[in-house]
Amino acid sequence: MGCAVTQARVLVADDHAVVRAGIAKAIADLDEVIIVGEVGDGPALFAALDRLMPDCLLIDVSMPDFDPVGDVGVIRGRFPQMKILVVSAYDDDVYVQGLLGVGVDGYHLKDQPLADLRLAVQRVLSGERWICSPLVEKLLRLREAAPLSLTDRQRELLLFLQEGLDNLAIARRTGLSVKTVENHLTRLYRHLGVQSRLEAVSYLHRHGAQLGIAARNPVVVEHSSARPRLLLVDDNTRYRTQLRRMIERAYPTLDLHEAADTHAALQTVRSASPHLALVDVVLGDESGITCARQIHQLSPSSRLVLFSAYPDREFHRQALEAGAVAFLDKKDVNAAALRALIDDVMPR
C-alpha cells in the first residue's frame, strides 16, 4: 500500500485577480501542492498567513498597503520555515537584491513560461533557491560592473534628455557634431543599462539622488508632425526590445518612443504627442489602464491600444472605457499584427 503524498500548503498573493487565477491554475495540478488561499493586499495577506499557516507563499510584492522589502522581512522573521517565492514583473536590480537580502527563497519574472513557474515552485519546495535565468544573467553583469559614476558630459547629456532635446538640439548646445552626440548617448545608455532616451530619463527620475543630479520637470517641446510617432509603454525591458525591433524592421522611419512607467509615458506624451500608444495593462505596481486614461486625457488625438499577458473580459471592458481602440492578447502580438495595427491607425 503506497504512502500518501504530503502536500505543501500554498498561499497566492497578487493584487490582480486574473493574475492570481493564472498562477493558481498553473500549479494546481502539481501533486506536491494544494492552494489554500488567494489574497490581494497587505492586510489580507498578514491575516491569511496567521489563519492558514501556509508552507509556501507565492507573492507579487507590488500590492496595495504592502512595503515590499520591509514587510517581506517581517514575514520572514515571523514565519522562518515558510518558503517565499516572489513572482513579479519587476527586474530592477535594487528591488531584486533587496528582496533576496531579506530572505526570499526565489524570484521569478511573470513574463517567463508557466512551465518555468511550476519548476520554480518545485525547486523552492525542495529546499533550493530559485532565480530565473534572465535575472541570473543581469545580476552577474551587475556584480562584474564597476560602481556607477558619471562624467560631467554624461550628467550634462542626461539633463538635456530630460529637457526633451533631440540630438541636433544637443549638438547645437554643446558645439559637438550630431554623430559625436550619438556616440556619447550610446555610451551613456550602455553605462546606465537602458535602451533609449526615455528609459534614461526614467532612470534619472528614479536614481537622481544617487547620481547627484536633481530631476526637473520636463520642458514641452514642439515636434514636427512629418514622421508618425508611436509610444510603447511596458515595464519589461526585454519585451519592449522585442517589440521595438519588430516595429523598426517594418517601419524604419517611425519616430518610436519607449516608457517603463506612467511618469515617463506622460512625459513623452507632453513632449511628443504620439499618434499611437501601445500600453501594457500591468506596469509593475501601476495600472496600465490608468496610464492609458491619463494619456487619453492629456492627448485626446492619440490612438490607444492596450495589451496584456493575462487577457480578461474585465480588462477589455476597462481598456475600452479608458479610450482604447483595441485590446490585444500579448501572445497574438507579432510582426503581422503590428503592421496591420499601425497601418490602420497611423497617419499616412
- Quick: pLDDT tens for 249-269: 777 777 889 998 888 889 888
Q: Which helix (H) or strand (E) holds 316?
A: helix 313-321
> How much is the pLDDT for 179?
85
Q: Which residues, other chains included, contact 122 with Cβ-Cβ below 8 Å and sequence gap of 6+? A: 30, 32
> What kind and span of H or E run contains 241?
helix 237-250
Q: Compute the distance between CA of residue 311 and CA of residue 329 in angstroms, rounded to an integer.
A: 6
What's the gap between Cα 293 and its chain centre?
A: 18
Residue 38: per-residue pLDDT: 95
Domain boundaries, the chain: 8-143, 150-219, 224-348
Closest CA to 317 of 332, 330, 327: 327
CATH second-level architecture of 150-219? Orthogonal Bundle (1.10)
Query: Which of 96-100, 145-149, 221-225 has the highest average model confidence (pLDDT)?
Result: 96-100
**Do 8-143 and 224-348 have matching folds?**
yes
The CATH H-level (homologous superfamily) assignment of domain 224-348 is: Response regulator (3.40.50.2300)
Cβ neighbours of residue 282 closer than 8 Å, sequence gap 6 or more: 16, 19, 89, 110, 235, 288, 308, 309, 310
Region 216-239 average pLDDT: 66
Cα 34 vs. chain centroid, distance in angstroms? 29
pLDDT band at 5 (very low <50, low <70, confident <90, very high): low
CA distance 200 to 155: 11
Proportion of the chain above pLDDT 90, given as a percent: 21
DSSP 2-70: PPPPPPEEEEEE-S-HHHHHHHHHHHTT-TTEEEEEEE-SHHHHHHHHHHH--SEEEE-S--TT--HHH
Cell numbers found for residue 114: 508557466
Mean pLDDT of the region 121-129: 93
Burial annotation 271-290 (CB, 10 A radius, 16+ → b, else e): bbbbbbbbbbbbbbbbbbbe
Confidence of residue 222 (pLDDT cuts 50, 70, 90): very low
Among candidates 329, 345, 185, which has minimal Cα distance to 254?
Answer: 345
Q: What is the CATH number of domain 8-143?
A: 3.40.50.2300
pLDDT of 136 strictly over 90:
no
What is the pLDDT at residue 218?
43
Q: How far is residue 180's CA from residue 89's CA, in Å, rounded to a whole number?
A: 36
Distance of CA 340 to the CA centre of its chain: 25
